[in-house]
Structure 1
Amino acid sequence: MGARSPRLEALEALVLRGLEVAPSQVWGGVRIVPLLRKEIRQDLRLAKRSYGEDVMAVSLDGELLAPGIKYVSYVPHGLVVSWSTNGTAAAAFGTHLQARDGRRFGKGPSTVRVAHRMARREDKNSLRLLPLHLAMEGFLALHFGGPEVAWSEYSRRALSTGLDPRWEDAVLGSWIPGLDDALRVFEIHERQVGVLLFVAEALASAFVVPHPDDYRALHRTLLEDFYGTLIVHHGLHATTSRTEASIDDERVSSLADLRQGLAVMRAEWAAFHDEMSNGLLGKEVRSERIYRAGPFQLQRFATNLSPSEENHIGEAIVRETGELEYLKTFRLSAAQTRRAFLLSQLASQNWNLDATAVLLRHSKDELIRRLERSGFDYLLKEHVLQAARRRH
Structure 2
Amino acid sequence: MTTSLELTGLTALPAQTWGAIRLVPLVRDEPIADLRLDARLYGDGPAAVALDRRTAYYAYVPHGFVATWTADGTPAAAYGTRLRHGDERRGDERRDGPPPCVPLRFHRRMARREDRGRLRFLPLHLALEGYLALHFGGPAVVWEEWSHRAVSQGLSPRVEQAYTGAEVAGLGDALRVFEIHPGQCGVLLYAADALAAAFVVPHPDDYRALHPSLLHDLYGELVYHYATLHGPVPDFRARIADGAVSTLAGLRAEAARQRAEWADFHTTALAGGLLEGDYEVQRVYRMGPFALSRFLPPFHRRTEQHIGETINHDDGRLAYLKTFRLSEHQVRRGHLLTRLAAADWNLEAAAALLGVTPAQLALRVEAAGFGALLRQDVLDHYRAEARRGR
Q: Tell me if TM exceeds 0.5.
A: yes
C-alpha offsets along residues 182-211 of structure 1, whole Å, 9 cap, x if unaligned? 111111001001100000010000000011
Cα distance change, pair 92–389 in 1 and its aligned pair in 2 (3 A): closer
Query: Could you tell me which residue of structure 1 aligns to residue 253 of structure 2?
Result: 260
Does the CA-based 8 Å contact 1:51-1:76 persist in structure 2? Answer: yes
Secondary structure of the residue aligned to 1:242 is coil
Partner letter of residue 265 of structure 2? F
Query: Could you tell me which residue of structure 2 aligns to residue 13 of structure 1?
Result: 4
Secondary structure of the residue aligned to 1:234 is helix
Does the CA-based 8 Å contact 1:15-1:282 persist in structure 2? Answer: no
Query: Could you tell me which residue of structure 1 aligns to residue 96 of structure 2?
Result: none
Query: Could you tell me which residue of structure 1 aligns to residue 221 of structure 2?
Result: 229
Query: Could you tell me which residue of structure 2 aligns to residue 70 of structure 1?
Result: 56
Secondary structure of the residue aligned to 1:344 is helix
Secondary structure of the residue aligned to 1:85 is coil
Query: Could you tell me which residue of structure 2 aligns to residue 109 of structure 1?
Result: none
C-alpha offsets along residues 104-151 of structure 1, whole Å, 9 cap, x if unaligned? xxxxxxxxx211000000001000010000000000000000011111
Give the deviation of 1:283 after TM superposition.
2.9
Secondary structure of the residue aligned to 1:283 is coil
Counterparts of 1:291 and 1:50, CA distance in 2 = 22
Counterparts of 2:205 and 2:300, CA distance in 1 = 37
Counterparts of 2:14 and 2:2, CA distance in 1 = 27
Counterparts of 2:381 and 2:28, CA distance in 1 = 59
4+ runs deviating over 4 angstroms: 95-102
Give the deviation of 1:320 after TM superposition.
1.1
Give the deviation of 1:23 after TM superposition.
0.4
Counterparts of 2:62 and 2:119, CA distance in 1 = 17
Identity of aligned residues (%): 52
Does the CA-based 8 Å contact 2:135-2:341 persist in structure 1? Answer: yes
C-alpha offsets along residues 236-265 of structure 1, whole Å, 9 cap, x if unaligned? 111312222233463333332122111111
Counterparts of 1:258 and 1:351, CA distance in 2 = 63
Query: Could you tell me which residue of structure 2 aligns to residue 325 of structure 1?
Result: 319
Query: Could you tell me which residue of structure 2 aligns to residue 295 of structure 1?
Result: 289
Partner letter of residue 7 of structure 2? L
Query: Could you tell me which residue of structure 2 aligns to residue 195 of structure 1?
Result: 187
Does the CA-based 8 Å contact 1:172-1:227 persist in structure 2? Answer: yes
Counterparts of 2:288 and 2:240, CA distance in 1 = 45
Give the deviation of 1:92 after TM superposition.
4.6
Counterparts of 1:191 and 1:11, CA distance in 2 = 31
Among candidates 230, 236, 241, match of residue 243 of structure 1:
236
Partner letter of residue 309 of structure 2? E
- Higher deviation after alignment, 256-265 or 31-40: 256-265
Counterparts of 1:210 and 1:100, CA distance in 2 = 26
Cα distance change, pair 385–317 in 1 and its aligned pair in 2 (3 A): same
Among candidates 289, 299, 323, match of residue 305 of structure 1:
299
Give the deviation of 1:40 after TM superposition.
1.8
Give the deviation of 1:267 after TM superposition.
1.4
Does the CA-based 8 Å contact 1:19-1:37 persist in structure 2? Answer: yes
RMSD: 1.5
Cα distance change, pair 289–199 in 1 and its aligned pair in 2 (3 A): same
Query: Could you tell me which residue of structure 2 aligns to residue 364 of structure 1?
Result: 358
Query: Could you tell me which residue of structure 2 aligns to residue 180 of structure 1?
Result: 172
2:19 counterpart of 1:28: yes
Partner letter of residue 15 of structure 2? S
Larger Rg: 2
* Number of equivalences: 368
Unpaired stretches in structure 1, ≥5 consecutive residues:
1-9, 63-67, 103-112
Among candidates 162, 171, 181, match of residue 170 of structure 1:
162
Counterparts of 1:282 and 1:343, CA distance in 2 = 23
Does the CA-based 8 Å contact 2:42-2:103 persist in structure 1? Answer: no
Secondary structure of the residue aligned to 1:152 is coil
Does the CA-based 8 Å contact 2:197-2:325 persist in structure 1? Answer: yes
Partner letter of residue 301 of structure 1? F
Query: Could you tell me which residue of structure 1 aligns to residue 75 of structure 2?
Result: 89
Give the deviation of 1:285 after TM superposition.
1.2
Does the CA-based 8 Å contact 1:245-1:268 persist in structure 2? Answer: no
Cα distance change, pair 92–382 in 1 and its aligned pair in 2 (3 A): closer
Query: Could you tell me which residue of structure 2 aligns to residue 79 of structure 1?
Result: 65
Counterparts of 1:161 and 1:168, CA distance in 2 = 18
Give the deviation of 1:321 after TM superposition.
1.1
Query: Could you tell me which residue of structure 2 aligns to residue 270 of structure 1?
Result: 263
Query: Could you tell me which residue of structure 2 aligns to residue 105 of structure 1?
Result: none
Query: Could you tell me which residue of structure 1 aligns to residue 196 of structure 2?
Result: 204
C-alpha offsets along residues 296-328 of structure 1, whole Å, 9 cap, x if unaligned? 111101221111311000000011111111000
Counterparts of 1:101 and 1:16, CA distance in 2 = 35
Partner letter of residue 334 of structure 2? A
Query: Could you tell me which residue of structure 2 aligns to residue 346 of structure 1?
Result: 340
Query: Could you tell me which residue of structure 2 aligns to residue 106 of structure 1?
Result: none
Give the deviation of 1:271 after TM superposition.
2.2
What does 1:113-192 align with in structure 2 at a 5 Å threshold? 113-192=105-184
Does the CA-based 8 Å contact 1:101-1:115 persist in structure 2? Answer: no
Counterparts of 1:382 and 1:92, CA distance in 2 = 55
Give the deviation of 1:223 after TM superposition.
0.6
Counterparts of 2:112 and 2:294, CA distance in 1 = 15
- Higher deviation after alignment, 40-49 or 240-249: 240-249
Does the CA-based 8 Å contact 2:32-2:319 persist in structure 1? Answer: no
Secondary structure of the residue aligned to 1:359 is helix
Does the CA-based 8 Å contact 1:280-1:303 persist in structure 2? Answer: no
2:316 counterpart of 1:316: no
Counterparts of 1:249 and 1:50, CA distance in 2 = 53
